Chains A and B, each alone.
Chain A
Amino acid sequence: DQQVKQNSPSLSVQEGRISILNCDYTNSMFDYFLWYKKYPAEGPTFLISISSIKDKNEDGRFTVFLNKSAKHLSLHIVPSQPGDSAVYFCAASASGTYKYIFGTGTRLKVLA
């Protein structure tokens, strides 16, 4: 049973516009969430994270929002750039477990 879900396999956005990637989770024990970016033939690289004590975390063009009651998080990229085209994975873990459970990924394409 998928504990972390990314229901949109793909997303296309025009350059300069906002990209919104969504992620839902089912396990209420999860309290730490991360987003990873993956280019073809490379390992995933860390993008941004958020702890359950916060509802928002920003890093430059990237902002992650967490809605604990809905068990939902989203990644906003503003403005989107062609170099942002990649597969984005969300991941979740429970305190102290270090078992990061990943979603199925969303392929983002930013059109120039």
Chain B
Amino acid sequence: NAGVTQTPKFQVLKTGQSMTLQCAQDMNHEYMSWYRQDPGMGLRLIHYSVGAGITDQGEVPNGYNVSRSTTEDFPLRLLSAAPSQTSVYFCASILPGNTEAFFGQGTRLTVV
């Protein structure tokens, strides 16, 4: 059981480039989320989804897009990367019923 898988683990982008961070879970969880972790800021919610075809904004959604075409996948897109998006990104999936969130290993993104 792989749990939550994020790819890539590391990425360096130039300002203005676009890319997609991949997240896949094999636990059949309906709910998935993206967070970013920055020093002194903790984990901040970017976007979340309560099921296939349904997404909503979190605390810091600007500069990011998401889609949820299947239960398993929840990709995060950076349309035009900025240095302020340098961060560690975590994807999480959640069982219904307000229980724990399961996190991936993270993607460390540097925008130069």
**A interface list, Cβ under 8 A from B:** 4, 6, 9, 32, 34, 36, 41-46, 49, 51, 89, 91, 93, 95-96, 98-105
Contacting residues, chain A, for B41 (C-beta < 8 A)? 104
Which of A34, A41, A45, A105 is within 8 Å of B42, CB to CB? A105
**B84 on the A face (CB < 8 A):** no
- A44/B43 in contact, CB under 8 A: yes
- A100/B33 in contact, CB under 8 A: yes
Smallest Cβ-Cβ distance to A105: which chain B residue? B42
- B45/A100 in contact, CB under 8 A: yes
Contacting residues, chain A, for B74 (C-beta < 8 A)? none
Count contacts on B: residues with CB < 8 A to the other chain.
Answer: 26
> Of B14-22, B63-71, B97-105, which stretch is located at the interface?
B97-105
| Nearest Cβ on chain A to B60's Cβ, whole angstroms | 12
| Nearest Cβ on chain B to A103's Cβ, whole angstroms | 5
Contacting residues, chain A, for B4 (C-beta < 8 A)? 43
| Nearest Cβ on chain B to A57's Cβ, whole angstroms | 13
- A49/B100 in contact, CB under 8 A: yes
Contacting residues, chain B, for A49 (C-beta < 8 A)? 99-100
Which of A32, A36, A102, A103 is within 8 Å of B98, CB to CB? A32
Which of A42, A103, A104 is within 8 Å of B105, CB to CB? A42
- A43/B106 in contact, CB under 8 A: yes
Query: What are 12 A-B contacts with C-beta separation under 8 Å?
Result: A32-B98, A36-B103, A49-B100, A98-B33, A98-B94, A99-B48, A99-B58, A101-B59, A102-B45, A104-B41, A104-B42, A105-B42
Contacting residues, chain B, for A9 (C-beta < 8 A)? 40
- A43/B33 in contact, CB under 8 A: no
**B44 on the A face (CB < 8 A):** yes
Contacting residues, chain A, for B50 (C-beta < 8 A)? 98
- B101/A46 in contact, CB under 8 A: yes
New contact pairs (7) apart from A42-B106, A91-B43, CB-CB < 8 Å? A34-B101, A44-B90, A51-B98, A89-B42, A98-B31, A99-B33, A105-B43
